[in-house]
Amino acid sequence: MPFEFLLIPGGAFLAALAVGAAGFGDGLIVAAVWLHVLSPVEIVPLVVASGIVIHLIPLVRLHQALDFSKLWPFLIAGTLGVPVGNWLLQVVDPQVFRTGVGVFLVVYGGCFLVRPHPGRITGGGRPMDAAIGAIGGILGGLAGLSGIVPGVWANLRGWPKEQQRGVFQPFILAMHAMSLAWLTFGGMVDARTGINFLWCLPAIVAGSGLGLWLYGRLDERRFHRIVLGMLLVLGVTLLI
């Protein structure tokens, strides 16, 4: 039990720190920590419930500084993609899919950390952004990885950090909210979820504060490298 008292808020703190600084990564971080003390059935609703607060705090703090002009194609298409991902759960092994995504993230993050100035993708416009959003929604419904593909795409677009966070952070928040509604309707949210959620709140507030403090001191180059580093670490986490 003392181990549980430490790891549940500890995982929430690390996730909030990462999201405050880079805008994504909470789901995989907390899952990697919480799997030591909680069952997968307990983790899923707690991830999305805590994730709503983890993403809401930075959005409230940064909403005047972020650029949301690129968000809507991602958000609309992602909302349509979540039910497709839930349906695919019946026919696709999520673990196999996670392994494939993990390999891609390790290769992508490692290559672009070594080659820090890749060419930008400028074609496709809003229809391509919507397609990426749909993929993000499907991955969210299938394996809880809604922010990975939009995060990679925003990075490849070469958008400034305010536009990148203005896309993938509210996108992940919306996907978490949809997932929590589905889980509640399915009876997977119970009193234990509520207790653990309240237990995580102080750690989330502290982690978010520290992460936002770090974000305010990042220039474009450092933000770009932190995002790539986060993608690499999350890929390794998926493989492990």
pLDDT tens for 49-105 read: 898 999 999 999 998 888 899 999 999 999 998 888 777 767 777 677 778 778 887
Strand intervals (E) in 98-175: none
pTM score, whole prediction: 0.82
Exposure on the CB side of residue 214, measured as CA atoms within 13 A: 17
**Which pLDDT score is estimated for 60?**
92
Range of the domain at 46: 2-239
The alpha carbon of 92 is separated from its chain's Cα centroid by a whole number of angstroms, namely 21
Residue type, 84: V
pLDDT tens for 18-65 read: 888 888 878 778 877 887 788 777 887 888 889 899 999 999 999 888
- Tokens 């194609």 identify what position? 73
> Do 20 and 215 form a contact (C-beta atoms < 8 A)?
yes
CA distances from 46 to 70, 151, 186 (A): 29, 23, 14
Total count of domains within the chain: 1
Please give the Cα distance from 227 to 233 (Å, whole number).
Answer: 10
CA distances from 71 to 77, 110, 192, 235 (A): 10, 27, 34, 25
Q: What are residue 65's phi and psi, to 5 degrees?
A: -95, -20
> Do 51 and 176 form a contact (C-beta atoms < 8 A)?
yes
- Taking 80 as the threshold, does the pLDDT of residue 191 lie above it? yes
Q: In angstroms, what is the C-alpha Rg of the chain?
A: 17
Neighbours of 4 (CB within 10 A): 14
